[in-house]
Amino acid sequence: MDLILEYFDFLLFLVLLALGYFVGRMNEQRHYLSIRRRERQLANVLAFAARFPPDPHTPRECVLVTGSVVVSSDYFKQFVTGLRTLIGGRMRAYESLLDRARREAMLRMKADASRHGCRLIFNVKVESTNVGGGMRGGTAAMEVLAYGTALKSLPDRSEAPRAA
Amino acid sequence: MRLENRLPDETVNYSIEHPLKEFAWLLAGVTAVVAAVAASVGYFAGEIAARVPFRVEKDYAAGITRHWEEQKRTSEAEEARRALRALAAKLAAAMDLPAGMDVTVHYSDEAVVNAMATLGGNVVFFRGLIARLESEDALAMVLAHEIAHAKLRHPAASLGRGVAVGVTLSLVSSSMGRGLAGDPVQVAGVLPLLKYGRDQERAADEEALRALAAVYGHVAGARELFALFAKIGRDEALQIGLLHTHPFTSERLARVDELARERGWALEGRVRELPPALARLKRAAPAE
Q: Is A111 on the interface with B (CB under 8 A)?
A: no
Q: According to the model, what pLDDT value does residue B267 have?
A: 87
Q: According to the model, what pLDDT value does residue B181 have?
A: 53
3-state secondary structure of B53: coil
CB A93 within 8 A of CB A77: yes
Q: According to the model, what pLDDT value does residue B24 have?
A: 93
Eight-class DSSP state of B121: G
The amino acid occupying position A142 is M
Task: Name the B residues in 183-202 with CB < 8 Å from any A CB.
Answer: 183-184, 187
Beta-carbon neighbour count of residue A17 at 10 Å?
A: 20
List the end-to-end C-alpha distance of chain B, in Å, as a whole number.
92
Measured between alpha carbons, how far is A149 from A52 in angstroms, rounded to an integer?
9
A43-102 residue pLDDT tens:
999 999 999 888 888 888 899 999 999 999 888 998 888 888 888 889 999 999 999 999
Half-sphere exposure of B77 (CA within 13 A, CB side): 18
| Nearest CA-CA partner of B87 in B9, B140, B34 | B140
CB B146 within 8 A of CB B123: yes
Q: Check pLDDT > 90 for residue A39.
A: yes
Strand B115-118 and strand A62-72: the pairing is: unpaired
Task: Name the B residues in 18-37 with CB < 8 Å from any A CB.
Answer: 19-20, 22-23, 26-27, 29-30
Kindly determine whether residue A80 and residue B29, on different chains, have CB atoms separated by under 8 Å: no
Q: According to the model, what pLDDT value does residue B139 have?
A: 92
**Residue B233: is it exposed, middle or buried by C-beta count within 10 angstroms (0-12/13-18/19+)?**
middle
Q: Is A125 on the interface with B (CB under 8 A)?
A: no
At residue B107, φ and ψ (nearest 5 deg) are -120, 135
Q: Considering CB atoms only, which of B15, B176, B243 is closest to A82?
A: B176
Measured between alpha carbons, how far is A133 from B177 in angstroms, rounded to an integer?
12
| Distance, C-alpha B122 to centroid of its chain | 15
CB A62 within 8 A of CB A149: yes
User: How large a percentage of chain A has pLDDT more than 70?
Assistant: 88
* Mean pLDDT, 10 residues at a time, chain B of 288 residues: 83 88 90 88 90 91 88 87 93 90 90 86 89 90 93 91 86 63 66 79 91 91 86 54 61 88 88 87 62
Q: According to the model, what pLDDT value does residue B237 have?
A: 43
Task: Name the A residues in 51-110 with CB < 8 Å from any B CB.
Answer: 54, 75-87, 90, 92-93, 95-96, 99, 103
Q: According to the model, what pLDDT value does residue A134 have?
A: 52
Measured between alpha carbons, how far is B133 from B272 in angstroms, rounded to an integer?
12
Could you tell me which residues are beta bridge partners of residue B118? B122
Mutate to test the interface with A, among B9, B20, B170, B180 (most CBs of A within 10 A): B180
B170 contacts on A by Cβ (under 8 Å): none
Cα–Cα distances (Å) from A127 to A69, A143, B96, in that order, read: 11, 8, 74
Measured between alpha carbons, how far is B41 from B35 in angstroms, rounded to an integer?
10
Q: Compute the count of residue pairs across chains A and B with CB atoms less than 8 Å apart.
A: 101
Measured between alpha carbons, how far is B104 from B92 in angstroms, rounded to an integer?
11
Q: Considering CB atoms only, which of B5, B30, B235 is closest to A47?
A: B5
The amino acid occupying position B79 is E
Q: What is the DSSP string of B202-251?
A: HHHHHHHHHHHHHHHSB-HHHHHHHHHHHHHTGGGGGS-GGG-SSPPHHH
What's chain A's average pLDDT?
Answer: 86
Residue in chain B closest to A138 (alpha carbons) equals B178
Task: Tell me the domain boundaries of chain A.
Answer: 2-151
Beta-carbon neighbour count of residue B118 at 10 Å?
A: 21
A161 contacts on B by Cβ (under 8 Å): 3-4
| Domain A2-151 superfamily per CATH | Hypothetical protein apc22750. Chain B (3.30.110.70)
Kindly determine whether residue A7 and residue B243, on different chains, have CB atoms separated by under 8 Å: yes
ipTM of the modeled complex: 0.76
Q: According to the model, what pLDDT value does residue B115 have?
A: 87
